[in-house]
Amino acid sequence: MNSEELRSIQRPIKDKYRSDPDSALVTHKAYGELTGNISTRIKTFEGTVEAGLHPNSGGTGLLACSGDMLLEALVGCAGVTLGSVSTAMGVTIRKGIIRAEGEIDYRGTMAVSKEVPVGFKSIRMIFELDCDAEDEKIESMMKSLGLK
C-alpha cells in the first residue's frame, strides 16, 4: 500500500472523527478464563493461548508468560503504527526489527520483599530500521509512537 492509498482509506474515517469525536473512542477488550490450575485461557485473534507462571515464579515454562505477551503486544502495536506512519510519510522501510525488553524483579511477584513492586520495573523499545528517511523524519515517526 502506498501513502495515497492509505490516505484514501483513512480520509472518511478521519472526517467522521472530526465531525463526531466520540466515535473515535473505542474500548478494546480481552477475555480470559481461569482454569483452576494457576493459568488463564485467553482468547486471541489466532485462537486460545494459555498463560501460566514464569519459571522464576514456579512455572514450568510450558505455558505462555503474561509478561512476554504484554511485550509482544507492545511490539505488535508499535510495528503496525510505525508501518502506517511511515507509509503516510512516504518512507520506505526496507527492513525493520522491533524489540521490547523489560525487567521484572521477582522478589516483588513472589512477595519476598515488600519494598519491591510487582510487575515490570522498566520497559525499553528498540528499533532497527533500514529505511530511506533522514534523521528528522525518523524522529518524527518515533514521536508518533510516543517515544521521543
Give the CATH number, domain containing residue 78.
Answer: 3.30.300.20
- Answer for the pair 11, 98: CB distance below 8 angstroms, yes or no: no
Name the domain count of the chain: 1
The boundaries of the domain holding residue 134 are: 3-144
Compute the distance between CA of residue 76 and CA of residue 79 in angstroms, rounded to an integer.
5
What's the DSSP call for residue 63?
A: S
Confidence of residue 148 (pLDDT cuts 50, 70, 90): low
Using one digit for the tens of pLDDT, what is the confidence trace for 111-137? 999 999 999 999 999 999 999 888 898
Element (H, E) at 27: none
Q: How far is CA 110 from CA 35, 53, 105, in A?
A: 21, 11, 9
Compute the distance between CA of residue 107 and CA of residue 95 in angstroms, rounded to an integer.
39
What is the per-residue pLDDT for 40?
97
Does the pTM exceed 0.85? yes
- Of 47-56, 94-103, 134-143, the poorest mean pLDDT is in 134-143
Percent of the chain with pLDDT over 70: 99
Give mean pLDDT, residues 103-113. 95
What is the per-residue pLDDT for 132?
87
What is the per-residue pLDDT for 110?
94
Using one digit for the tens of pLDDT, what is the confidence trace for 10-27? 999 999 999 999 999 999
